[in-house]
């Protein structure tokens, strides 16, 4: 009987871990970045990746500075993107990336399909305004 209860509790815990918030969080992040992403560009110059963020199965945000980021879409064949802790951008142009470059993910080479600049300054300004509005609403009697 104890074994049955143990397995029932374990199944419930695992089911809880596999559902809900992380996927919703990714969808919200993707929607936010898409709303500030510009038109696709052929290349991003002066490229130096500071960090990256997974926002969908085939989309990452590459941060190149405090106020500079790009929404990069790779081909659907990139299997391990959502499971990796590190990536490497392989550029044929040195200090810029283009749609002809690749993202290395573990053993996979993922060709870049699209590069879209993100208006980070506007996104930060809008987020600050939303926080200020929430604070003002909270302070109202």
**pLDDT, tens digit (0-9, with 9 covering 90-100), for 30-60:** 999 999 999 999 988 767 889 999 999 999 9
Structural domain span for residue 28: 2-139
Measured distance CA(69)–CA(120) in Å, rounded: 7
State whether residue 135 is helix, strand or coil: helix
Q: What is the dihedral of CA 19, 114, 86, 46, to 10 degrees?
A: -140
In the structure encoding, which two tokens stand for residue 66, read together? 């405090």
**Cβ neighbourhood burial of 87 (10 Å; 0-12, 13-18, 19+):** buried
Q: What is the pLDDT of residues 87-118, one digit of tens each?
A: 999 888 777 889 889 999 988 899 999 999 99
Average pLDDT, the chain: 82
Strand partners, 111: 102
How many structural domains does the chain have? 1
pLDDT over 70 percentage in the chain? 82
Residue (of 117, 103, 118, 95) closest to 42 by Cα position: 117
- Distance, CA of 15 to CA of 4 (rounded, Å): 16
φ/ψ of 22, rounded to 5, equals: -60, -40
């Amino acid at each position: 009987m104890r074994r049955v209860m143990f397995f029932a509790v374990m199944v419930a815990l695992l089911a809880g871990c596999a559902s809900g918030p992380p996927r919703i969080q990714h969808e919200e992040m993707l929607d936010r970045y898409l709303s500030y992403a510009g038109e696709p560009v052929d290349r991003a110059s002066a490229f130096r990746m500071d960090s990256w963020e997974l926002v969908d199965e085939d989309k990452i945000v590459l941060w190149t500075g405090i106020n500079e980021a790009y929404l990069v879409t790779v081909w659907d064949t990139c299997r391990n993107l959502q499971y990796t802790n590190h990536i490497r951008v392989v550029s044929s142009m040195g200090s810029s990336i283009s749609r002809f470059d690749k993202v290395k993910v573990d053993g996979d080479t993922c060709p870049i399909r699209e590069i879209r600049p993100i208006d980070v300054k506007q996104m930060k300004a809008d987020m600050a305004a939303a926080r200020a509005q929430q604070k003002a609403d909270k302070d109202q009697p």
